[in-house]
Structure 1
Amino acid sequence: MSAVQEEGLESLPISRIIANGYGGEFGPGTQCRVTRVTLQGGLDIVRWQSTFEQPVELPLHDDSERIHFSFTNLLRGKASCSFLEGRRQRRFAIDEGAGSISFGRSRQGLYHQHGEIDNITVMIHPELLAQWETQIDPTLHSALACDHCFLDGHRSGEMSATAQLLCDAMDPGAGLAPGPPRSSLWLYGQSVTLVSLFLEARRNPGCICRISHIDRQRLLRARERLLQDLGKAPSLSELARESGMSQPKLTRGFRQLFCNSVYGVFQQARMIQARSRLLEGDESVMRVASDLGYANASHFATAFRKQFGINPSLLKHGGKSRLIGADPLSQDLQCQIFSEGSGSA
């Protein structure tokens, strides 16, 4: 039982999490930081960074009145959220390199985490979204009309890169080379871009609403098997056989559920892991490339540059500032930063 559960903690309003120094409830061994930027009425960006050495379960109350377009850039461990639907609790896994769209007026739920996570969320009022985008797909439109939804599995290299740019620009502790901070106009533009990438993914003719629950579980298991060893991908025939699906159905299902091909999902996960290891700064580019199945460093560099728009050697040797082109936000744009336990995330 986690420390958060043991005293029967009341539901925490989302508004409290993103403002007013939230974080005091956590004990030793935890690291948390929230950075929030309000761009205009009805539009905020929130970056959540946290590490929990022990599993925690946070009861939440969504009083934000906003649609959350949320993308997880980094996850070392496990995270999920669950909501009561009818008489049963439905749980949704949170994946690295993937995004979700959630909305729930006054909805109660649970957030589960064990390990480290870095997430960026664009929070937008439904009326403002309607001004931006009129071609919302039927599934999302129906979910928003019912005032509750959680639609996951949104992935693309462009979405990942945009989310990472926003995260880096909102990092007040990066210690980057001196330079002007990103302007609120730039942040606004990137936020609009991230939301538009979510909506574009949903307009894909292979909408995830056409996938049965059984096939969805098979595809999730197939992806788990695919990513077991990022140094060597299983063959398509092997993956189809183990998942109990035909090859055409498997490849079509990956396109529908994960917005990418089977190899694309594998490649994206490889590059995300490569970026994490290079940012830690303890390993050579060649070592990372070799561990991820590349015998040729130039092939690895080409794949990495295609994914993130920067050479891996540049990222490793202080190139983070060039990736985002600026320092973190100035203090007047930071709504709230907090830390607890052993220090900031």
Structure 2
Amino acid sequence: MSAVHERARESMPVSRIIADGYGSELGPGTQCRVTRVTLQDGLDIVRWQSTFEQPMDMPLHDDSERIHFSFTNLLKGKATCSFNDGRRQRCYTIDEGSGNISFGRCRHGLYHQHGEIDNITVMIRPEVLVQWELEIDPTLRKALACDHCFLDGHRSVEMTATAHMLGNAMDRVPSTSVVQPRSSLWLYGQSVTLVSLFLEARREVECTCSVSRADRQRLVRARERLLEDLGKAPSLSELAREAGMSQPKLTRGFRQLFLNSVYGVFQHARMTQARCRLLTGDESVMRIASDLGYANASHFATAFRKQFGINPSILKNGGRSKSFGASAS
């Protein structure tokens, strides 16, 4: 068994994982860096950057006593996590360009990753969040009180930009760089902004605890079917029939479990793939638009701009230096 898997068999306290610089002992075939900035007692920003060439399972023990507002800026591969909610083990898929709210005192879980991920997390003690006097919706308040909270699918253009700015600010830039480090006050302000954007994105979302295990499995399979071909979405009636659910139950389930409509989930995945191809390939904007089902480049540009706040042509011409975090700063 590899060193990665030997190490992963031990239950890992979150307090150890978020220690600045963690990851050097995980063995060959891995790259892992944790950057942590403490802004005040009970408030930290943590950036997790890792690449695992082989699938890795890491049993976790959350001893942080913090609420995690976590946003994934980059994902090339697959990442999931699972926790026991007191009755059963629930598994959650981590998506690029999406965030989750997680909290559970001393709970145990399992983190799985294969590939590359770049994640930014604001970790805050509940009493500090109360001091900020932000409006917390009843569903989230109930979820936080049950000690096995995991609410996923939070996303918005502002949230994406803020998470990218925080990630960029936490880069360890060389001493010769002209980029000036951000102040603690700036980081504090952006942390409050990111948390507030999470709360705004929630709107009238229902708690996923109300989704039965059987329906959760049907909805996950329906999402997998929905995203099989990002050039053409199946009809709602076809998707509901294949999932073994009525159309109203399917649409309601998507909003409960994925915090988005069926088409919204499809559109987000489609634009996320477009962004990845624009950043990493030599393909034209029109070619990418066509592959993703757009006959009109202007319609594609409008959809892309609506999700990411930037024209695809600017991203294509500017590369990573014109990424959303940089463009918003």
TM-score (norm 2): 0.86
Q: What is the distance in 2 between the residues matched to 1:137 and 1:192?
A: 17
Residue 217 to residue 327, structure 1, CA distance change in 2 (3 Å): closer
The AA in structure 2 aligned to 1:188 is Y
Q: In the TM superposition, what is the alpha-carbon distance from 1:319 to its structure 2 partner?
A: 5.4
Q: In the TM superposition, what is the alpha-carbon distance from 1:207 to its structure 2 partner?
A: 4.2
User: Are the aligned partners of 2:72 and 2:96 in contact in 1 as well (CA < 8 Å)?
Assistant: yes
User: Are the aligned partners of 2:57 and 2:110 in contact in 1 as well (CA < 8 Å)?
Assistant: yes
2:223 matched to 1:211?
no
Q: What is the distance in 2 between the residues matched to 1:126 and 1:104?
A: 11
Q: What is the distance in 2 between the residues matched to 1:261 and 1:217?
A: 17
| Secondary structure class of the residue paired with 1:58 | strand
Q: What is the distance in 1 between the residues matched to 2:2 and 2:88?
A: 22
Aligned twin of 2:261: 261
The AA in structure 2 aligned to 1:324 is G
Aligned twin of 1:324: 325
Moved more, 179-188 or 97-106: 179-188
Aligned twin of 2:291: 291
Q: In the TM superposition, what is the alpha-carbon distance from 1:42 to its structure 2 partner?
A: 1.8
Q: Percent identity?
A: 78
Q: What is the distance in 2 between the residues matched to 1:88 and 1:258?
A: 19
| Secondary structure class of the residue paired with 1:95 | coil
The AA in structure 1 aligned to 2:300 is F
Moved more, 92-101 or 6-15: 6-15
User: Are the aligned partners of 2:9 and 2:57 in contact in 1 as well (CA < 8 Å)?
Assistant: no
Q: In the TM superposition, what is the alpha-carbon distance from 1:139 to its structure 2 partner?
A: 4.0
Q: What is the distance in 2 between the residues matched to 1:137 and 1:69?
A: 15
User: Are the aligned partners of 1:34 and 1:47 in contact in 2 as well (CA < 8 Å)?
Assistant: yes
Aligned twin of 1:192: 192
Q: What is the distance in 2 between the residues matched to 1:226 and 1:172?
A: 39
Residue 261 to residue 148, structure 1, CA distance change in 2 (3 Å): closer
Q: What is the distance in 1 between the residues matched to 2:156 and 2:258?
A: 8
Aligned twin of 1:122: 122
Q: In the TM superposition, what is the alpha-carbon distance from 1:20 to its structure 2 partner?
A: 4.6
Moved more, 237-246 or 143-152: 143-152
Q: For 1:41-120, list aligned pairs within 5 A.
A: 41-86=41-86, 89-120=89-120
User: Are the aligned partners of 1:156 and 1:259 in contact in 2 as well (CA < 8 Å)?
Assistant: no
Q: What is the distance in 2 between the residues matched to 1:208 and 1:66?
A: 20
Q: What is the distance in 2 between the residues matched to 1:276 and 1:173?
A: 24
Unaligned regions of 5+ residues in structure 1, if any? 329-345
Aligned twin of 1:248: 248
| Secondary structure class of the residue paired with 1:318 | helix
Q: What is the distance in 1 between the residues matched to 2:48 and 2:230?
A: 27
Q: What is the distance in 2 between the residues matched to 1:20 and 1:75?
A: 21
CA deviation vs aligned residue, 1:57-81 (integer Å, no higher than 9, x gap): 2222222221111122332322222
| Secondary structure class of the residue paired with 1:92 | strand
Unaligned regions of 5+ residues in structure 2, if any? none
Aligned twin of 1:303: 303
Residue 169 to residue 306, structure 1, CA distance change in 2 (3 Å): farther
Q: Alignment RMSD, CA only?
A: 2.9
The AA in structure 1 aligned to 2:312 is P
Aligned twin of 1:19: 19
Moved more, 220-229 or 287-296: 287-296
Q: What is the distance in 2 between the residues matched to 1:25 and 1:4?
A: 9
| Secondary structure class of the residue paired with 2:165 | helix
CA deviation vs aligned residue, 1:218-275 (integer Å, no higher than 9, x gap): 2222211111111111122211221222223322332333222222211111111111
User: Are the aligned partners of 1:79 and 1:114 in contact in 2 as well (CA < 8 Å)?
Assistant: yes
The AA in structure 2 aligned to 1:91 is C
Q: What is the distance in 1 between the residues matched to 2:127 and 2:228?
A: 42
Moved more, 200-209 or 120-129: 200-209
User: Are the aligned partners of 1:4 and 1:58 in contact in 2 as well (CA < 8 Å)?
Assistant: no
CA deviation vs aligned residue, 1:6-25 (integer Å, no higher than 9, x gap): 36853322222222532132
Q: In the TM superposition, what is the alpha-carbon distance from 1:183 to its structure 2 partner?
A: 4.2
2:11 matched to 1:3?
no
Q: In the TM superposition, what is the alpha-carbon distance from 1:206 to its structure 2 partner?
A: 4.1
| Secondary structure class of the residue paired with 1:105 | coil
Q: What is the distance in 2 between the residues matched to 1:107 and 1:245?
A: 33
As a proportion of its length, which structure holds more helix?
Answer: 2
| Secondary structure class of the residue paired with 1:6 | helix
Aligned length: 326
Q: What is the distance in 1 between the residues matched to 2:285 and 2:34?
A: 31
| Secondary structure class of the residue paired with 2:234 | coil
Q: What is the distance in 1 between the residues matched to 2:8 and 2:220?
A: 33
